Structure 1
Amino acid sequence: MRCALCKREAELEKSHVIPKFVFRSMKKESPTGNMRLTSQSNKKVQDGDRQKLLCGSCEDLFNEDETLFANRIYHKYRADSLKEFEYEEWLNRFITSVNWRNLYLDIIGFVMEKNIDPYRLDILIQAEKIMRDYLLKERDNLETIENHIFFFNPISEASDSISDMHLHTVMGGSAFGYTFISYHHDSYYVFLNLQGLIIVTIIKPAQDDSWKNTLVQNEGQLNLNKPQYITTPLFSEFEYLAQQRKQAMEQMSEKQRIQIIDSIKKNPERYKTSKAFEQLQDDLRLKRINDNKRNN
């Protein structure tokens, strides 16, 4: 079989589309020790999606960047100890590598399902090639493609509709990502949410896109004390996913609800000190703020 990155014939390894360290973190932080898919709320999962994509050499090519990202950014963010950080090309390469995997797989899906027009497909194919060449070190830049990193910190104010979506729980308690096309704005993104740490590859931005204090280049510094501001059609997808999760949780079987409650009762302190409980409190706080505004 051919490696998706280097295109050489080789025995392929099963690669995590979303890095494995994210799922380890999710299981560790879960008050029940389990993970569930939004699309299948009654099913427990132990690991993330794995695909036969890369040869051993290309898998190794990504491992160093993943380790640096996990140790210098991700784990510190989950421990609430990340304030600012300096980075070199490894961060740009890491974001490119994980979003390239999703883009590559999504292109295959679009072609198989024949649900994309040639114009938009060509934009994605060209972007995939630029990202692949960059990862193979055959080029030192991504042309007009940009990588961004956004930290989903507690929201202090939101509209009524958003406050009912439990966004803190949705974003902070899950890992998901894919290629997003805004047809109305003719804009193209590949994103990945890593428990509230959101990395985005902008292939073609919307005309009114605005990203402040989020851009990642081949080297630089990000200070989390400086506010990050984003205006983008991509946010509408997060709202849609939050609605999907809400519906999925409402459809959870009574048997699964009882199992979750029983698991929490066995170790209530674990739940009270978990990220899941913290995220729930943030959602309830935001809802109270909006309820008070509506009643005053």
Structure 2
Amino acid sequence: MGKGNNIGMCALCKDKDVKLLDSHIIPKLVYRRLKSYKNSRFRNYYDINDIFQDGEKKPMLCSSCEKFFNKFETEFANEFLDKYSVNSIKNKKSADKFDDFIYSLNWRIIYDDLYVFKSFTEIDKNERQYFYDIELKLADYLNRKKNSNYDVDKPKDLKNYIFYIEDLGLDFKIIEAFKSSTFGYCFNADYKSKYVVMTYFLGIIFVTSYDVNSIILTEGIMENIKRKFITGKIDNIIKEELIWQYNKMISHKPINDAILNSGLKEKLENRYHNK
């Protein structure tokens, strides 16, 4: 079936036999702001021959749901990304104001992980169910929001956060490594008591966290309380996750260097510097 002619069920509203648009997993507004050159392209770090013109797109949403999400993206861009300078933006962060944008953003990430990549098929069935629960809670809220003319209750057990990578106490080399990166995925942390959906772009981390509140006391009450205070803060969890992601990137660097040195580096220099 040709590009743009996918017919199926909308991932959000579940309408059947509708035309599915090529929806960006991470919004297009991000890639427009990341481009250093007019004809820049984006590459998968773990397969640098995998090229995207303006970010990863998949047939996912009907036109009605796509338009619904676009409203949140436009508001976020106008009121957040384009309104504040880099120096002043740190004093303007508020997840509450942009909850709907974060919900719509991280719903796409967890839906993609669950139903496209099937990322959690090998882990414990009970753990996997928590991720399904998060996706259902997000989808339910977004559908109620879309179909109501009034305010609707937000999911009480899901909490959103916005972090700036420079505020997490990371080494400068890690911050620089992520400078032009975009990614999103799900993971569990804090002795499997937190299930997290995280999206990163433009130096900002958007988090939706589901707190299970069920740490198993295997090493005594005081030891577990101590661990909870040390590792339980969501900013510490995100920091450790970014360090893990950075180390994963570093381990893959020799593979990328070999590809670059086999002729890709010269092609890139010709493309962007020798016009």
Normalising TM by the smaller chain, what interval? 0.7 to 0.9
Q: How far 1:196 moved relative to its partner? A: 1.1
Tell me if 1:21 matches 2:34: no
Tell me if 1:195 matches 2:199: no
Task: Report the residue type matching 2:59 in the other structure.
Answer: K
Match of 1:146 in 2: 159
Match of 2:241 in 1: 237
Q: How far 1:195 moved relative to its partner? A: 2.1
CA-to-partner distance for each residue in 1:226-276, whole Å, 9 max, x for gaps?
xxxx222x3332112212323434332212334455667659xxxxxxxxx
Does the 8 Å CA contact 1:36/1:43 hold for their aligned counterparts? yes
RMSD: 3.1
2:254 to 221, 225, 250: 250
Give me the identity figure in percent.
Answer: 27
1:51 to 58, 82, 99: 58
Tell me if 1:36 matches 2:43: yes
Match of 1:97 in 2: 104
Q: How far 1:77 moved relative to its partner? A: 5.8
Aligned residues: 241
Does the 8 Å CA contact 1:193/1:199 hold for their aligned counterparts? yes
SS of corresponding position for 1:6: coil
**Unaligned runs of at least 5 residues, structure 1:** 212-229, 268-296
Does the 8 Å CA contact 1:68/1:90 hold for their aligned counterparts? no
Does the 8 Å CA contact 2:41/2:54 hold for their aligned counterparts? no
CA-to-partner distance for each residue in 1:115-154, whole Å, 9 max, x for gaps?
1322112212222111112112264111111010011227
Q: Bigger relative contact order, structure 1 or 2, given CA contacts below 8 A and separation 6+?
A: 1
Does the 8 Å CA contact 1:65/1:93 hold for their aligned counterparts? yes
- Distance change >3 Å, CA 32–CA 108, structure 1 → 2: closer
Does the 8 Å CA contact 2:177/2:246 hold for their aligned counterparts? yes
**Unaligned runs of at least 5 residues, structure 2:** 1-7, 146-151, 214-227
CA distance in 1, matches of 2:167, 2:156: 34
Match of 1:8 in 2: 15
The alignment's TM-score, normalised by the length of structure 1, stands at: 0.70
SS of corresponding position for 1:59: helix
Match of 1:275 in 2: none
CA distance in 1, matches of 2:182, 2:74: 18
- Trace 1:251-270 onto structure 2 (pairs within 5 A): 251=255, 252=257, 253-254=260-261, 255-260=263-268
Q: How far 1:198 moved relative to its partner? A: 0.7
Q: How far 1:42 moved relative to its partner? A: 4.7
Q: How far 1:186 moved relative to its partner? A: 3.4
